[in-house]
Each structure stands twice: as C-alpha cells, then as structure tokens.
C-alpha cells in the first residue's frame, strides 16, 4: 500500500490499496471499493483536485468543453477556441485525433468552425488523414448565462479520408445536430443532443457504394464540483448504415457511457486552457469495448476580432 499526502493542505490525504481507495478529509474517512478502471479515474480526479488546492487563480468557470455530447453555447464575440481531441481503444488498437477551431461571426448568434482529423484503423493498419468538416451553428435560444440554451448545427463533411483504409465515409456528407443545454442547479448542468447524418454515396474498404443514413442521440450531466474542476458523465448513442455491398447497407449501433473530468487554468491575458480525460466503455450492442479520451482546449481573445465587441 502506498500513501500520498497533499503538501498544500495537511487535512487532505489519499491512501491507495489494491482494491480500494481511502480518502481522509480532516480526519473523516471514506472507503470506496472500485474496479481497476474506476480506481484509475478516481485517483486521477482526486490528484487534480488536490493540485487545484495548490494553485491560486481567478475562479472563471468551465462551460463549453464536453467531449462526446455537444453543448449549446456559441463562442462570445472576440473569443476563439482551439480544441484537441484524442481517443484510443485498447480493444481494437485504433485511435482518432481531431482538431477543431471555433470562430464567432459578428457576435454570439453565428459561429463557424472547421475540423480536421487523423485516424488509425487497427483492422486495416496505418495512419492517415480522416474526413474534414465545415460547421455552422446558430444560437437559437439563450446563451451561456441563461438557464436554457439551444444552438442547432449544420455540417458539411468533406471526404478527405481514404475510405479504402477505413479512414472516411467515401463521399461528401451532410450532418445536423441540435444541442440543448439546461442548468438544473447552480452546480449541475444537463446537455441533450439529437442529430442525423446523410452520405448519399458512401463507400467501404472494397470500393462498394451505397447511400448511408445515421442518427445520434446524446445526454450528459456535468457536476460543477469547483469553478475550475468538473466531473462529467456522458452517454452517446449512434445508429448508422454501413456499406455491405453495392447498393446495400447494414445497421451498426454503438452505445457508450463515458465518465470523465475536466479542469481549467486561467491566465491574466484572457487565455483559458482546459485539459480533460474520460474513460468510455461500451454497453448493449458494444458491451466490452473500452477506450480512453484525452482533451485539450485553448480559449482566448483574438485582437483582430475585438471590433465585434464594440457592435
């Protein structure tokens, strides 16, 4: 058994055993029995919490930094965001990396973003570019300061990935998603997603083509444990066609449950850096699948957009 103490606050201690975690908070003891993956996540989250006790920063909170479920908050005028997302599956030995850049357009109502990706398909081997996306989102209801926010998105999918190696859809596609964000409590937010994807001329690894239609549903709870530290539970369901033969498709369904956490570092120049980690696991049709997500966001004011704030 190993024991670690927080040097910034002697009232907090963490003791890790083979099948349990003992958290001591000012002489109160909490015993938790967990699986290996759960212990890994909890230890990581508690270490981040203790780290946060040592860092004195302005309590600017986190809002638009979910991993799988989209939140309904457009970027504020003059603020841009760069998002790095990496997912790795030890089950299939495949990984996905995406970079997304979000820009407000003449205020909060309109937002443009683009996404590029890198993919390694464990079944086919090799890594390369995946499909790219051009996104437009409209702030239909509310914003980051209201109890309810809704921001529909439309996406044009560009077939920049090699479908012969499982890195893309094989044709131009169209996607829509409707995210809604609701503040249930000052410390608890809920996000809901419903969307659909259409690729008129999808292509599989054998070069066979067929029309592909899919839909997705998502739901998440975000617990604002601290202004700069949040715990997350995301649920994501995807039901889509997969090209099986010329003109023929079969349905593929995926259900993921993803516990995670995110935290923020705020700087005087307005920059906010938000790292995060999550441990998705499959349920139902994808039971037994496991993966890990690493997230890193940079949100900052951009001088060339400052004129938007004056409008």
* Model confidence pLDDT, tens digit, residues 58-92: 456 787 789 999 999 999 999 999 999 999 998 88
Helix H or strand E segment including 213: strand 209-226
For the chain, give the mean pLDDT.
Answer: 84
Q: Which of 62-71, 141-150, 182-191, 236-245 has the lowest mean pLDDT?
A: 62-71
Query: Same structural domain for residues 44 and 10?
Result: yes
List phi, psi (to 5°) of 69. -105, 125
Query: Rounded to an integer, what distance in angstroms lies between the CA atom of residue 291 and that of residue 278?
Result: 9
pLDDT attached to residue 210: 96
Q: Which residues pair with 127 in a beta bridge?
A: 120
Sheet with strand 20-25: strands edge to edge:
2-5, 12-16, 20-25, 28-33
Query: Same structural domain for residues 10 and 140?
Result: no
| Total-model pTM | 0.81
Share of the chain above pLDDT 90, in %: 70
229 pLDDT above the threshold of 90: yes
The total of structural domains in the chain comes to: 2
Longest dimension (CA), the chain: 67
Range of the domain at 106: 79-309
Between 28 and 241, where is the model more confident? 241
Is residue 240 within 8 A of residue 1, CB to CB? The reply is: no
Q: How many CB atoms sit inside 10 A of residue 202's CB?
A: 26
pLDDT attached to residue 306: 57
Alpha helices, H only, 55-182: none
Of 38, 54, 70, the one marking the end of a domain is 54
pLDDT attached to residue 307: 52
Report yes or no on 164 lying in a domain.
Answer: yes
Q: Which of 78, 15, 63, 27 minimizes the C-alpha distance to 303?
A: 78
Q: How far is CA 310 from the centre of its chain?
A: 32
Query: Same structural domain for residues 283 and 249?
Result: yes
Q: Which residues pair with 141 in a beta bridge?
A: 150
Q: Which of 252, 236, 256 minimizes the C-alpha distance to 202?
A: 252
Query: Same structural domain for residues 212 and 271?
Result: yes
Query: Same structural domain for residues 244 and 168?
Result: yes
Report yes or no on 65 lying in a domain.
Answer: no
Query: Rounded to an integer, what distance in angstroms lies between the CA atom of residue 129 and that of residue 145?
Result: 37
Token code pair at residue 284: 């139902």
Query: Rounded to an integer, what distance in angstroms lies between the CA atom of residue 103 and that of residue 221?
Result: 26
Collect all residues with Cβ–Cβ distance below 8 Å to 204 and sequence separation of at least 6: 163, 170, 242, 243, 244
């Amino acid at each position: 058994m190993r024991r670690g103490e927080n040097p910034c606050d002697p009232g907090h201690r963490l003791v890790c055993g083979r099948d349990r975690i003992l958290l001591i908070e000012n002489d109160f003891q909490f015993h938790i029995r967990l699986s290996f993956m759960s212990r890994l996540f909890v230890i990581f989250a508690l270490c981040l919490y203790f780290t946060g006790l040592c860092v004195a920063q302005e309590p600017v909170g986190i809002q638009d930094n979910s991993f799988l479920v989209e939140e309904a908050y457009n970027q504020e005028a003059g603020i841009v965001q760069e998002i790095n997302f990496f997912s790795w599956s030890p089950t299939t030995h495949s990984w996905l990396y995406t970079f997304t850049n979000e820009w407000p357009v003449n205020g909060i109502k309109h937002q443009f973003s683009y996404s590029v990706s890198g993919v390694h398909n464990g079944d086919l081997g090799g890594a390369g570019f995946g499909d790219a996306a051009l996104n437009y989102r409209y702030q239909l209801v509310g914003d980051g300061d209201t109890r309810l926010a809704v921001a529909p998105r439309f996406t044009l999918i560009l077939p920049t990935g090699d479908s012969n190696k499982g890195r893309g859809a094989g044709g131009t596609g169209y996607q829509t998603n409707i995210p809604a964000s609701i503040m249930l409590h000052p410390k608890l937010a809920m996000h809901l997603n419903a969307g659909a994807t259409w690729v008129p001329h999808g292509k599989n690894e054998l070069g066979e083509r067929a029309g592909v239609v899919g839909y997705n549903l998502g739901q998440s709870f975000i617990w604002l444990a601290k202004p700069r530290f949040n715990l997350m539970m995301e649920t994501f369901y995807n039901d889509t066609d997969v090209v099986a033969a010329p003109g023929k498709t079969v349905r593929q369904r995926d259900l993921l449950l993803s516990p995670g956490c995110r935290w923020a570092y705020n700087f005087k120049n307005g920059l906010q850096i938000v790292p995060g980690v999550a441990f998705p696991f499959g349920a139902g049709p994808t039971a037994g699948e496991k993966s890990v997500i690493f997230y890193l966001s940079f949100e900052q004011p951009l001088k060339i957009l400052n004129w938007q704030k004056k409008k």
